[in-house]
Amino acid sequence: MEEETYFPDTDHLDFSFTSTITNKSSLSSSARSSFSCKESPTNAPTLYRHIWDPRFAEIKAAAALSADGNLQLSHLKLIRHLGTGNHGRVFLCQLKDHGGGAFALKVIDRDSLNGKKVSHAETEGKILTMLNHPFLPTLYARIEASHYTCFLIDFCPNGDLHSLLRKQPGNRFSLPAVRFFAAEVLVALEYLHALGIVYRDLKPENVLLRDDGHIMLSDFDLSLVADVFPTVNFFRRGKRDRSVGGGCFGSSVGAADDEEVVSEFVAEPVTAFSRSCVGTHEYLAPEVVSGAGHGNSVDWWAFGVFIHELLYGTTPFKGVNNDVTLRNIVSSSKQTTSLHVAEAGISEAKDLIEKLLVKDPSKRLGCTLGAQDIKRHPFFDGVKWALIRQYKPPEMVGGVVAKRVHVGRVKRRRWFWKGLDSLMMRS
């Protein structure tokens, strides 16, 4: 059954139902920060949104009360401060008198940003208008008020993956949990690359957890957009008789020695190129550190580092300080951290990590066919990709509990910006 879609009026840029932007719902004290040296904004098309989300109706009802029919800051009630990112602050909020749904409001004070950061913020806003995916954020409204740019977006009540990882025994996830989170991140990266977006800031801190336990990538201000040329490839492959035990995905069993014709959609931004020095130290690819220029392969390097951290509790090239970390990344002799984990399927995980952490980007897994190459790796055997949204998230210490977000009385605290506070209080 086809879902109805809503095609927004693109003339009203300050009240967009077309996309999304989100930030962390919680920030760990040990969270690593991103840095950047250069970035360029990009244009982005407007895509449809589904009208089945009742929050759109709530927002439209609230906006209808204003003179110009647009959502205003005065329609929102701030609940509490959620976190501070590179370019703004994030607050938990709800609409006044129109439902009790919780949103996150990302507030960017343009007067506090220099030219480069303004460019980053514009890039993020334009990219997020392109997104329409369950593992990426939804932008419900964009509000321009005085020198503030505000994005009303999804609220993820269960924090981020970095915080959850630090609650686990040994600061690591079990292999089935690693497979679950890695599979969902892989699907999100595949979608971004299909749009020509190189993410460039993958790390557990940027992987938020929705109320149902599934992931949502956040923070797109360091992303790069390039041309992409989709293709459909056909090939024959043998069905493997392989079973991956348990976990969130169950098992996969095929008839041995049979062949099947498989078609695959490939949309990888292989022409992407930048010399910008952006990202998080422990996740930077060697070509970024060396300044030789980089493209789409930096996301697949970061994906290897990401899997390593979830599995072992540490990144593979981490040194005593950032300079040592960067030297370890570019060193031809430095290999990935070898830690002992006795768990079924660990050899497949190690093999995948090794193929992703190839220092030559042209030989790195995923550099040409992107996520399709990675999906075929034995580590992901048993994953039914078309049904990935239906899988039950893994149970773990301090794990996800679906809950109704309580939004109570607003408390005025010193972290409120004086100018923003006055705009919020206007009737």
Segment (H or E) for 390: none
Tokens of 233: 């490839």
Active site residue 53: no
Instruction: Give me the count of residues in the chain.
Output: 427
- Nearest CA-CA partner of 229 in 261, 175, 265: 265
- Among the listed residues 154, 160, 201, 219, the single catalytic one is 201
The single residue listed with the structure tokens 């969902």 is: 184
What are 196's two structure tokens? 């020509």
Tally: H helices and E strands in the chain: 10, 13
Tokens of 110: 């343009």
Binding residues for ATP: 106
- C-alpha span between 235 and 237 (Å, rounded): 7
Rounded to whole angstroms, the Cα distance separating 334 from 102 reads 46
Distance CA 178, CA 394 (A): 9
Residue 90 bridge partners (DSSP): 83, 106
* CB-CB contact of 97 with 193 (8 Å): no
The DSSP result for 167-212, as a single string, is TSGGG---HHHHHHHHHHHHHHHHHHHHTTEE----SGGGEEE-TT
Annotate 80-127 with DSSP letters as a single string.
Answer: EEEEE-SS-EEEEEEETTS---EEEEEEEEGGG--HHHHHHHHHHHHH
Backbone angles phi, psi at 91, to 5 degrees: -125, 145
Measure the CA angle with vertex 164, ends 158 and 170; round to 5°: 165
Q: Which helix (H) or strand (E) element contains residue 6?
A: strand 5-6
Which active-site residues does the annotation give? 201
